């Protein structure tokens, strides 16, 4: 086991296991397995540059045992912050983009109802796009996806509501491709994953040790290494709303960067802006790409402070970071295997965050 991970001139202690936290995390993951929340899971928690505990349980599929922690998971909507959000934030830092730039500055033939939609609105899910519709029903090929996105009627006037939208984020991805003149998978690889040393993270994975997701009703076989999200699958696996696969070590590196205030990758000013509340309703608070804590039944649980931030993925993945203490939790699971109807993870995840955060605060107080 490597003791350290290096990215951007900074050296982080990767494993500094706290036995109390380790026992708690082991017990929690076993409990989730026993309750049928997932067939398998990997999780880690830590504080800034240190990892307090890391654990894995179960299987990568109904027939495949999990032999180590390095299983790659379909990150689903957690892809939004792993890839395109980071590309956009770096673009803002480098002067290639501003939050108040509009779609027509970068995309051709933007219809009147979408002219004036800003990057800020796309990143805060307040641009007016439907939460989701099937691109395969409105575009003949992936190359026609942008035209389909722009032609589809808006659900509400931009800026007048906050509704989580995969379609708005797919549009953001098209903007980023236009800004840099290269496909999204290459953008994320060169501008996010490589600088952060995330060697096992990317789109369209090859090789084995990949957790299975839902069973395809047409073939009777589970998706494994093929993105679960329907629109991302139509886009040949590369989309701004989903499609990234990653493992726990790479996700730890990503979480450490965020827990350390951007640490050599993002300016502290950029991250502070990204995790500030820019749009909200009674049920949701949105930063730039990030989901913010402080609302009822938030996935981060009852104890993470309102300034905490992160994101979830439909397949059963999540990231939570408290910027005040630097405490973070990463959970990778395939709760949709064999069926998306399994919703047991939702309560379990809130409970898990409660237990880990309370024990972490106890550890800090008792030192």
pLDDT higher than 80, residue 11? no
CA dist 126 and 336 (Å) reads 28
Check residue 287 and give its pLDDT: 98
Q: How many of the other CB atoms lie within 10 Å of CB of 361? A: 14
Higher-confidence position of 82 and 4? 82
Which residue range is the domain that position 160 belongs to? Answer: 76-244
For the residues 86-104, what does the mean pLDDT come to?
Answer: 98
Torsion angle of C-alpha atoms 168, 315, 319, 238, degrees rounded to 10? -50
**DSSP β-ladder status, 50-58 and 73-74:** unpaired
Confidence of residue 16 (pLDDT cuts 50, 70, 90): low
Confidence of residue 366 (pLDDT cuts 50, 70, 90): confident
Residues 135-167 have pLDDT tens digits of 999 999 999 999 999 999 999 999 999 999 999
Does the pTM of the predicted model rise above 0.85?
yes
pLDDT higher than 80, residue 327? yes
Beta-carbon contacts of 358 under 8 Å, excluding residues fewer than 6 positions away, are 303
Residue 348, in any domain of the structure: no
- Residue 196 maps to which CATH number? 3.40.710.10
Residues paired with residue 331 on neighbouring β-strands, in sequence order: 43, 318
Q: Give which of 208, 226, 210, 206 is closest to 218, Cα–Cα.
A: 226
Tally of domains in the chain: 1
Check residue 1 and give its pLDDT: 29
Residue 168, in any domain of the structure: yes
Residues paired with residue 43 on neighbouring β-strands, in sequence order: 55, 331
Q: What percent of the chain clears pLDDT 70, i.e. is strictly above it?
A: 95
CA dist 164 and 167 (Å) reads 9
Buried b (16+ CB within 10 A) or exposed e, 35-66: eebbbbbbbbbbbbbbbbbbbbbbbbbeebeb
Residues 223-267 have pLDDT tens digits of 999 999 999 999 999 999 999 999 999 999 999 999 999 999 999
Check residue 223 and give its pLDDT: 97
Check residue 363 and give its pLDDT: 85
CA dist 157 and 160 (Å) reads 6
CA dist 130 and 25 (Å) reads 38
- Cβ atoms of 44 and 252 closer than 8 Å: yes
pLDDT higher than 90, residue 5? no
Confidence of residue 340 (pLDDT cuts 50, 70, 90): very high
Residue 257, in any domain of the structure: no
Residues 57-89 have pLDDT tens digits of 999 998 899 999 999 999 999 999 999 999 999
CA dist 265 and 191 (Å) reads 10
Query: How far is residue 215 CA from its own chain's centroid?
Result: 22
Confidence of residue 12 (pLDDT cuts 50, 70, 90): very low
Residues 260-305 have pLDDT tens digits of 999 999 999 999 999 999 999 999 999 999 999 999 999 999 999 9
Check residue 256 and give its pLDDT: 97
Residue 233, in any domain of the structure: yes
Check residue 14 and give its pLDDT: 52
Q: How many of the other CB atoms lie within 10 Å of CB of 159? A: 16
- Cβ atoms of 246 and 72 closer than 8 Å: yes
Residues 198-208 have pLDDT tens digits of 999 999 999 99
For the residues 321-326, what does the mean pLDDT come to?
Answer: 97
Residue 232, in any domain of the structure: yes
């Amino acid at each position: 086991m490597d003791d350290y991970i290096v990215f951007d001139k900074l050296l982080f202690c990767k494993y500094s296991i706290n036995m109390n936290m380790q026992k708690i995390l082991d017990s929690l993951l076993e409990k989730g397995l026993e309750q049928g929340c997932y067939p398998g899971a990997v999780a880690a928690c830590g504080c800034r540059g240190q990892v307090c505990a890391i654990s894995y349980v179960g299987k990568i599929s109904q027939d495949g045992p999990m032999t180590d922690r390095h299983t790659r998971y379909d990150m689903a909507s957690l892809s939004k912050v792993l890839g395109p959000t980071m590309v956009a934030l770096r673009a803002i830092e480098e002067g290639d983009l501003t939050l108040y730039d509009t779609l027509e500055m970068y995309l051709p033939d933007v219809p009147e109802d979408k002219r004036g939609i800003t990057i800020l609105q796309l990143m805060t899910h307040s641009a007016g796009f439907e939460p989701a519709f099937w691109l395969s029903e409105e575009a003949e090929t992936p190359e026609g996806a942008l035209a389909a996105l722009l032609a589809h009627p808006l659900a509400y006037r931009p800026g007048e509501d906050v509704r989580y939208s995969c379609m708005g984020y797919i549009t953001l991805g098209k903007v980023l491709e236009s800004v840099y003149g290269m496909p999204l998978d290459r953008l994320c690889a060169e501008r996010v994953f490589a600088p952060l040393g995330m060697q096992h993270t990317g789109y369209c994975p090859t090789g084995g040790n990949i957790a299975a997701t839902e069973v395809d009703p047409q073939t009777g076989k589970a998706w494994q290494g093929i993105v679960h999200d329907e629109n991302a699958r139509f886009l040949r696996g590369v989309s701004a709303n989903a499609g990234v696969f990653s493992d726990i070590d790479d996700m730890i590196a990503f979480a450490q960067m965020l827990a350390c205030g951007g640490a050599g990758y993002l300016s502290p000013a950029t991250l502070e802006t990204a995790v500030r509340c820019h749009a909200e309703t009674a049920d949701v608070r949105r930063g730039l790409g990030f989901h913010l804590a402080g609302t009822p039944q938030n996935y981060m649980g009852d104890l993470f402070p309102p300034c905490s931030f992160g994101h979830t993925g439909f397949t059963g993945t999540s990231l939570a970071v408290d910027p005040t203490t630097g405490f973070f939790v990463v959970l990778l699971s395939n709760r949709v295997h064999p069926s998306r109807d399994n919703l047991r993870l939702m309560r379990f995840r809130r409970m898990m965050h409660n237990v880990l955060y309370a024990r972490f605060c106890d550890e800090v107080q008792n030192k």
